[in-house]
Amino acid sequence: MKTARLVESLPTSYIREILQAATAADCLSLAGGLPDPKYFPLDATAEALQLVADSPSVHGHLFQYASTRGYQPLIDHLQTQLSVGAGHELLMTNGSQQGIDLAVRTYLNQGDEVALEVPAYLGALQVFALAGVRVRPIPQLPNGPDLEALRKVFETGRCKMFYTVPDFHNPTGCCWSLEVRTEVARLCRKHGVLLLEDAPYRDIRFHGENLPLVSDFCSDVAIVLSSFSKTAMPGLRLGAVVAGKKLLAPMLRVKQAVDLHTNTLGQFLLAEFLVKGNYVAHIANLCRNYHAKYEALHAALELHTAEFGFHRPVQGGMFIWFVLHELDATLVAQRCLERGLAVVPGGVFFPAGEKHSINALRLNFSYLAISQLEEAAARLAAVLRELSAC
């Protein structure tokens, strides 16, 4: 059976292929974007499941059809936790990935233009490809998008949406400065461009000052996507969309058409953890541990690989973007796999057919233990030495 035209244009996830190859027993993987399962709130989850098992009749409503917006006790809690402003509302989704999809389905037609920073989050590129929308790439600079390039794209009047990850970007780890945030907000308002602010890594900050959301400066034209995949557990598949009532209402209608509502038992488990567990302490612990892992990989790269490339220090998130001086990133990634190390070559983070001069590797530091991160850096250095000797 022939698939639909837009499905044919869907980029295959090269990362999934690398992750498959990385399942070999002796392979160390810096390739995925996996949180460390050591910090999953399993005790709180087990207690919540026990509550359901102990009194199934009281909890029967968790297994009934429910409202599209989400499980009300969770929503009530998140209104405060996410500081949802007056006139704004919340919609629970299957991860922030569904938030991207719902925003695109609700606000873009086939052929419409969406701007995004490149390199870009692969999952968003896939949503845009499937929706048949046109991508306008904006180069990313150390403090955020190239504002001049963004202004030019906005001035064409054809761009309807700007998809962004301002806090600890995937794949680069870039965090926008305050100046960039206010200027992007100003430009979005001036040109009537919808800002889709994807913030799954926002709470994972190791140091530096917490900056406002870009949307705080343009909330009338902004949609914010939160996720509990990095801060709780990705298998729960839970995220939240926050937007003004007028922007959110059509997204609710679309969500209803797509899947009626998000799994209620999962939302109950998250609510129990957030309400009864000590979320603040949980995040502090997670950040402390990811910080230590980041410092370990950062130091090991400085020690072993400095002559072959460089990376900018990051203040949070889960990724280091290692830019190679000369060697070809795709070749390096291939040879790494043969030597028991999985890394992602930077080219996969560009829209299909988009020319780019970036020669970099995305390195994840959240998943492996510190000793494994050090070993991974040593394996990478060995591959870089081997290739540069050729």
Q: What string of H, E and C letters represents the secondary structure of 115-152?
A: EEEECCCHHHHHHHHHHCCEEEEEEEECCEECHHHHHH
CA nearest neighbour of 133 among 105, 152, 154, 155: 105
Structure tokens at 86: 């007056």
Using CB under 6 A, pick the residue from 45, 164, 215, 227 that binds ligand PMP.
227
> Of the two residues 225 and 301, which places its CB atom closer to ligand PMP in the complex?
225
83 — alpha (psi -120 to 50), left (phi > 0) or beta? Answer: left
Contact track, ligand PMP, 163-182, x by CB under 6 A: --x----x------------
Structure tokens at 262: 């998000």
Backbone angles phi, psi at 256, to 5 degrees: -60, -40
Segment interacting with ligand PMP (CB under 6 A) among 95-103, 142-150, 212-220, 357-365: 95-103
> Of the two residues 200 and 351, which places its CB atom closer to ligand PMP in the complex?
200
Size of the site for ligand PMP (CB under 6 A): 14
> Of the two residues 97 and 264, which places its CB atom closer to ligand PMP in the complex?
97
Using CB under 6 A, pick the residue from 29, 106, 140, 229 that binds ligand PMP.
229
Strand order in the sheet with 309-311: 309-311, 319-324, 360-364, 344-345
Contact track, ligand PMP, 106-125, x by CB under 6 A: ---------------x-x--
Q: How many CA atoms lie within 13 A of 258 on its CB side?
A: 20
> Of the two residues 41 and 239, which places its CB atom closer to ligand PMP in the complex?
239
Residue 97 binds ligand PMP (CB under 6 A): yes
Contact track, ligand PMP, 15-34, x by CB under 6 A: ------------------x-
Segment interacting with ligand PMP (CB under 6 A) among 2-10, 93-101, 151-159, 372-380: 93-101
The least CB distance from residue 26 to ligand PMP, in Å, is: 26
Using CB under 6 A, pick the residue from 117, 183, 197, 198 that binds ligand PMP.
198
Using CB under 6 A, pick the residue from 239, 244, 316, 346 that binds ligand PMP.
239
Element (H, E) at 291: helix 279-305
The least CB distance from residue 98 to ligand PMP, in Å, is: 7
Residue 317 binds ligand PMP (CB under 6 A): no
> Of the two residues 193 and 233, which places its CB atom closer to ligand PMP in the complex?
233
Task: State the DSSP code for 75.
Answer: H
> Of the two residues 97 and 305, which places its CB atom closer to ligand PMP in the complex?
97
Q: Which amino acid is at 274?
A: L
Q: Are 31 and 22 in contact (CB under 8 A)?
A: yes
Q: Are 82 and 240 in contact (CB under 8 A)?
A: yes
CA–CA separation, 233 and 313 (whole Å): 26
Q: Are 268 and 47 in contact (CB under 8 A)?
A: no
Residue whose CB is nearest to ligand PMP in the complex, by number: 95
CA–CA separation, 162 and 303 (whole Å): 38
Binding site for ligand PMP (CB under 6 A): 33, 95-97, 121, 123, 165, 170, 198, 200, 227, 229, 234, 239
